[in-house]
Amino acid sequence: MPYPYLAESTSDEQTFYVITHPKFSAKISKFGGQLLSFIPQGQNDILWLSDSAILNGSKPIRGGAPLCWPWFGPAAGEFEGEPQHGYIRNLLWEIKEYQSNEQSVEINLSPIISNELTEKLGLAVNVVYRFDTSVSIEINTSNVSDKTKTVGCAIHSYFNVEDITQTSLPELSGCSYSDKVLGKEQVQTGAVTVNAETDRVYHYEQAKLSISTPSRAIKIEHQGHDSVIVWNPWQQTAANMADFDNNGYLSMLCVEAGITKGVSLAPRQEITLKQRFSL
Ligand code: BG6
């Protein structure tokens, strides 16, 4: 069915949904169901995509806003050995609903997930994108089993920051965090700046934060989260990743909305994790 403003493009046998609207343009990958680009009219892309991202469906896409579910980070417990950041970055997705007008576009997508996996997890997921001059990304999880289930997730957005050495996150000042590089709990002094490998889970439950860059401020709002993850691999760790272009770490910063601690969902209970960003 043709959708207004939306065209499909194909490369490397993968499908991408390209939305060209008077207020913005955007690109969503069918593989991973993730946003790759969001450009408000007249602006530069808010998102960063690695120049050497692998887009052929053989591994999660390095950039845009990958969706992590039903856990954040390495798999543990009964799922040990399963993929880092869960399953849905590696699945194909399909459009379930699409609505548009001259002001906005809303798309609801679901992963094409086997009955076996749904049964094993006892959870179902979909994502809703709402675009205008901002974009909101919503991961909706429901417990479809008759037992209590635990879920974690993250919206792992890679922001285009032009120059990481002149980028900061002022609102996180004073916030406690787990430093995954140093392996200890810390408290943030002043705005977050990045000049080395940074992998931190900030225990920040407030809604609003922002990324200040030399030429613009990216406004971010979170809902349903227990943490904000800040990640930049820096030079050496990026060089060890085949899909991370060598100078990419200088112009990106991941600021992720996360449920990193896991929440319990009673049968039929639903939860939403949301990130919204704009200039
Ligand atoms: C971040 C994690 O969210 O994602 C990091 O905090 C991790 O530890 C990074 O390295 C990238 O993960 P991946 O699986 O996309 O390489």
Q: What is the pLDDT of residues 105-159, one digit of tens each?
A: 999 999 999 999 999 999 999 999 999 999 999 999 999 999 999 999 999 999 9
Q: What is the pLDDT of residues 78-110, one digit of tens each?
A: 999 999 999 999 999 999 999 999 999 999 999
Does residue 66 register a pLDDT over 80? yes
Mutate to test the pocket of ligand 1, among 182, 199, 261 (most ligand atoms within 8 A of CB): 199
Annotated catalytic residue, options 21, 156, 222, 225: 156
Report DSSP state, residue 236. Answer: H
Q: At 210, give phi and psi (nearest 5°).
A: -150, 155
Q: Is 222 in the pocket of ligand 1 (CB under 6 A)?
A: no
Q: Is 256 in the pocket of ligand 1 (CB under 6 A)?
A: yes
Q: Rounded CA gap, 234 and 66, in Å?
A: 19
Mean pLDDT computed over every residue of the chain: 97
Q: Rounded CA gap, 18 and 7, in Å?
A: 5
Does residue 1 register a pLDDT over 80? no
| Mean pLDDT on 148-172 | 98
Q: Is 228 in the pocket of ligand 1 (CB under 6 A)?
A: no
Index of the ligand 1 atom closest to the CA of residue 180: 8
| Mean pLDDT on 18-30 | 98
Does residue 22 register a pLDDT over 90? yes
Q: Cβ(259)–Cβ(225) under 8 Å?
A: yes
Q: Cβ(224)–Cβ(271) under 8 Å?
A: yes
Q: Is 199 in the pocket of ligand 1 (CB under 6 A)?
A: yes
Closest C-alpha residue for ligand 1 atom 5? 199
Per the annotation, the verdict on 256 as an active-site residue is yes
Cα(234) to centroid(ligand 1), Å: 12
Cβ-based neighbour number of residue 201 at 10 Å: 24
As given in the structure block, the two tokens for residue 68 are: 């992590």
Closest CA to 26 of 2, 3, 7: 7
CB contact set of 49 (below 8 Å; sequence gap of 6+): 36, 37, 61, 62, 63, 64, 158
Q: Is 59 in the pocket of ligand 1 (CB under 6 A)?
A: no
- Give Cα 110 to chain centroid, integer Å: 15
* pLDDT in the model for residue 170: 98
Closest C-alpha residue for ligand 1 atom 8? 199
Does residue 44 register a pLDDT over 90? yes
* 264 bridge partner residues: 150
pLDDT > 70: what percent of the chain?
100
Closest CA to 157 of 16, 36, 30: 36
* pLDDT in the model for residue 243: 98
Q: What is the pLDDT of residues 188-239, one digit of tens each?
A: 999 999 999 999 999 999 999 999 999 999 999 999 999 999 999 999 999 9
pLDDT > 90: what percent of the chain?
99
| Mean pLDDT on 25-50 | 98
| Mean pLDDT on 16-41 | 98
Q: Where are the beta strands (DSSP E) in the chain?
A: 6-11, 14-21, 24-29, 35-40, 67-68, 93-100, 105-111, 123-131, 135-143, 149-155, 158-160, 176-179, 184-187, 198-202, 208-212, 217-223, 227-232, 252-265, 270-278
* 175 bridge partner residues: none
* pLDDT in the model for residue 2: 86
Q: Is 44 in the pocket of ligand 1 (CB under 6 A)?
A: no
Index of the ligand 1 atom closest to the CA of residue 84: 14
Per the annotation, the verdict on 21 as an active-site residue is no
